[in-house]
Amino acid sequence: MTLPGSPFLSYRGQELFLEDCSLNELAARHGTPLYVYSQAAMLAALAPYQRGFAGRPHLVCYAMKANSNLAVLQTFARAGCGFDIVSGGELERALAAGADPRKVVFSGVGKTRAEMRRALEAGVLCFNVESEAELEVLSEVAVACGRVAPVSLRVNPDVDANTHPYISTGLKGNKFGIAHERALQAYRRAAELPGLSVAGIDCHIGSQITAPGPYLDALDRVLDLVEAIEAAGIVLHHLDLGGGLGIQYTDEQPPAADALIGQLLARIDARGHGHRTVMMEPGRSLVGNAGVLLTEALYLKPGEAKNFCVVDAAMNDLMRPAMYQAYMRIEPCLRRDEPAASYDVVGPVCESGDWLGRDRELAVRAGDRLAVLSAGAYSMSMASNYNTRGRAAEVMVVGAQAHLVREREAATELFRGEHLLA
């Protein structure tokens, strides 16, 4: 039986497999909490992007904030992807994984001068600039370094992505990008500043988008600006349409990436912009359904209002339920032929918000292992050491082979660098 979200995750008999690896056996071998990723699922998610752009000048830049494990980055670098980064640390990770800096775009609202200098030294493809003040600072840094910074201005089109407010980024009230009505003025300033070279235009309206409408609305507004900017004598070489395509957590039905790209390219061509390079920055849609979080049931705790299944994974391992009230499917690694009961699946952290799932029907006993599905994106990358808990180990499976790609943190590592008073 194949589960929703990924054809690479399925039950064989009573046992849950990711590709050809038993998740119960991986949990026994490596301990829990444990993140496990399918390389085949990642490449299968990338394929429709590559098909959709076939024959067109393009660049798919993986938005590595979704999952920045080096083995994940290596997988996409080898597949020809560029990278969308939002910090100096992400730049160093991408380079360590073998990324070509000429395929790296540097986004983010708060780039520091040190981060700008390092990115210029590395030779990144483009800076996605998010404010007029950032233009001034980047110009100063580039001139001081004796370099030219290629820039693309991230425009805020004031389009509602119809998603969770915390991951909506294209409305007037969001902190991201330059307001649509100020974009032409900002481009004129960028064109006259020393040390800058205008390369393109960028737009990203949010995450977990499940319909093409918001993309098309945003694209129309961006193309209006492109025409106004070029009428002012400023040439734009690329259109960066951002990322944000959703995945299936429950019953969502987002469009296939190649279908979405087809609609976007048709709109671009119809308005006479088919000669431009088109870029996209998918993150969640490449890795979200490629990963699971494995956890062990520690205690079953009956209560008058609720039954609790207390597990060893917690909100420090998986922040999405606590932060976004996100639904993530939970399945046993080894199914029991017993009646199920309703449980809130909760962790050991001292917060009432520490839950992974509410009101889940599970046939479970203490010692059983559970898999939290669709945990490949914004899960390990958002993990913390709250309650002095070491972050989980990570494994990548390739067929029947399982590779440990991150070791579990030991307690002594968590306070290395701290010092007692004399």
In whole angstroms, give the CA distance from residue 163 to residue 160. Answer: 8
Q: Is the preceding omega at residue 165 within 30 degrees of 0, hence cis?
A: no
Structural contact between residues 310 and 357, judged by C-beta atoms closer than 8 angstroms: no
Structural contact between residues 280 and 60, judged by C-beta atoms closer than 8 angstroms: yes
Count other C-beta atoms under 10 Å from residue 362's C-beta: 23
In whole angstroms, give the CA distance from residue 394 to residue 40. Answer: 16
In whole angstroms, give the CA distance from residue 149 to residue 196. Answer: 5
In whole angstroms, give the CA distance from residue 45 to residue 287. Answer: 8
Count other C-beta atoms under 10 Å from residue 272's C-beta: 10
In whole angstroms, give the CA distance from residue 116 to residue 150. Answer: 12
Type of residue at 272: G
* Strand bridging mode 104-106 / 82-85: parallel
Options 61, 81, 145, 350, the catalytic residue: 350
**66-97 b/e with 16+ CB inside 10 Å = b?**
bbbbbbbbbbbbeeebbbbbbbbebbebbbeb
Type of residue at 1: M
Catalytic site residue 203? no
Q: What is 298-329 written as a DSSP string?
A: EEEE--SS--EEEES--TTT--HHHHH-----
Catalytic positions are 350
